Structure 1
Amino acid sequence: MSEIVVRAATQADVAGMARVHVLGWQETYRGLVSDEVLDAPDFVERREQMWTSVLADSANGWRSAVAERGGRIVGIAAAGPAQGERPPRDWELYILYLLAEHHGSGAGQRLLDAVLEDRASVLRVADPNPRAQAFYRRNGFVPDGSREPFGTGHEIRMVRSAVRGA
């Protein structure tokens, strides 16, 4: 099997990014988010529209990356200026999905590093989602006590300070 390559996302990646985004939701949130949402016939199309817009708007400040193996996108990540009122950090991880068959490959770490570098950052993660929470803890993120409803569970906010002196 070929090696996973992580690189900056381009408009040519939109269809593959949308596919991974939807599959990532289906693999991660089944049982937490309704099947009606996860299996919506237009879910991929809506993600294609989102990624087309994100990648076309260079002024949004987002950094987007893909992981690909054998020319097929298997992971996506995006980060940028923190959103919301008074965010606890200036930079935010918006999206990181790696298809389950590639968990443990190191690609998730490389995607995270590609979009966050060593920046002090904030993210939100579903709870329960122990695998993702453990991954983020290994990367210096800690829950800050903020919790919002998400599907049948919650979403917790995690923060980290800059790492390695960045």
Structure 2
Amino acid sequence: MTGGTEVRRAVPGDASAMARVHVASWRSTYRGLVPDVVLDDPDFVARRTDFWTAALTDERFAANRVAVAEHAGDVVGVAMSGPVTDRGPGTVQLYVLYLLDGHHGSGAGSALLDAVLDSGSDAVLWVADPNPRAQAFYRKHGFAFDGTEQVDGGVRERRMTRSGRSAA
């Protein structure tokens, strides 16, 4: 528990709340990076609900770790990690970590990260660029850019890696 926020394993009943957090975070973070037509799509929340339902119930995602942060009974953050799917470094990949704006700096993001990544494991993630707040957060948690970049959906992303042996 951090500042009145509790982090726990996500369950299928959380999918719609997780989708709302996911979409709200995208809209506040990626406006100007992701086309408005994507962010303002009226079906965006429904599609994210389907995604989270699958992530929490489909056997394809059984090896993933999914957590939520709750504050005053409301889901305010989500995180998901799982096996690395590309040939990049690391044994586990952070796929998702989103926190509603009012909860940045509360410790909930760190608690979510700890819930889905073991400090003893090497890890990799992709972060949108520019996204200075997220990049600073990941650097604080031992991640560093490895020089690899890609463009996904028109958004430039940079890969960050962390060696579990040197993580704090």
TM range (shorter): over 0.9
1:151 Cα deviation from its structure 2 partner: 5.6
Contact kept in structure 2, 1:96 and 1:112, CA below 8 Å: yes
Aligned pairs for 1:1-150 within 5 A:
3-58=4-59, 60=61, 61-84=63-86, 86-118=87-119, 119-150=121-152
Offset from partner CA, 1:28-76 (integer Å, 9 cap, x none)? 1001111100010110000010111110024521100000111100000
TM-score computed with the length of structure 2 as normaliser? 0.92
1:158 corresponds to: 160
Alignment RMSD: 1.8
CA offsets per residue over residues 117-141 of structure 1, 9 Å max, x none? Answer: 2121000001100110011011111
Question: What is the Cα deviation at residue 163 of structure 1?
Answer: 4.0
Distance 1:138 1:97 in 2: 16
CA positional deviation for 1:90: 1.3
Matched residue count: 164
- Structure 1: gaps spanning 5 or more residues: none
| Partners of 1:126 and 1:150 within 8 A in 2 | no
The two structures have a TM-score, normalised by structure 1, of: 0.93
CA distance in 1, matches of 2:166, 2:134: 22
Q: Give distance in 2, aligned partners of 1:83 and 1:94.
A: 10
The question of whether the paired residues in 2 share the 8 Å contact of 1:32 and 1:151 is answered with no
Amino acid at match of 1:76: V
- 4+ runs of 1 displaced by more than 3 Å? 150-153
